[in-house]
Amino acid sequence: MAALIRRLHICAGLVVFAQFLVYGIAGIAASVQPSLERPKVPREVRSIPFQREAGESDKAVAARVYELLKPELSRPVPDWFLRKNSEGNLLLDFYNINGIYRTVVEPRQLRVELIRNSAALFLEDIHAANLGGDPGPGLVRVWAAWNEAGIWALLFFCVSGAYLWLATRPGWKWAWVSLAASSLIFGAFWVVFQ
């Protein structure tokens, strides 16, 4: 049994190491970033013919623009994030892990600006993906599942490491009781707060 747990412990350690590399780079990028502001200089700008209907709400326009553009790896703009620019035009930011599709609804067209993240900001965005709520497009869901697996691997890594350490010291009854008690407490918290 100890040999199997040791093998699984090593596999979990490799998964945790891979996760910590991404988390570490994201943490370093966040700490050396000069400000909380994201890049605003567009890499590419294009115009698309678009006519806003008379009396159409901002929410309806945002939904129609999303269906027209279908910006990859992004979700529709939430209602609470609808805003206007200084000229009074509707400004829609479709965020994704690669950057922003900034769309300005002008009187007869859409001006779409593609703003790309740096590699460090990309890693900062993907390290926070999770399966809770609306996880978004397929690729983001896959990464969110990987993040979730990494968290569970870390938990297993810690518990299996404690077990392997204790398995080499069978006379340490107090340590075994402590491990059992902490496991029961963790399990109780898990059941209560799920």
State which residues form the domain around 76: 44-116
**pLDDT, tens digit, for every residue of 89-111?**
999 998 887 888 899 999 889 99
Residues forming beta bridges with residue 90, ordered by sequence position: 84, 105
Which residue among 82, 116, 150 closes a domain?
116
**pLDDT, tens digit, for every residue of 61-89?**
999 999 999 888 788 888 888 999 889 89
Amino acid occupying residue 162: A
- Assess whether pLDDT exceeds 70 at residue 133: no
Number of domains in the chain: 2
Token output for 91 = 């400004």
User: What global pTM score does this model have?
Assistant: 0.60
Q: How confident is the model at residue 134 (pLDDT cuts 50, 70, 90)?
A: low
Q: How confident is the model at residue 8 (pLDDT cuts 50, 70, 90)?
A: very high
Identify whether 129 is part of a domain: no
- Is the domain of 185 the same as that of 158? yes
- The span from the CA of 140 to the CA of 148, in Å, is 12
- Assess whether pLDDT exceeds 60 at residue 135: no
Token output for 194 = 């799920």
Nearest to 63 by CA among 47, 52, 72: 52
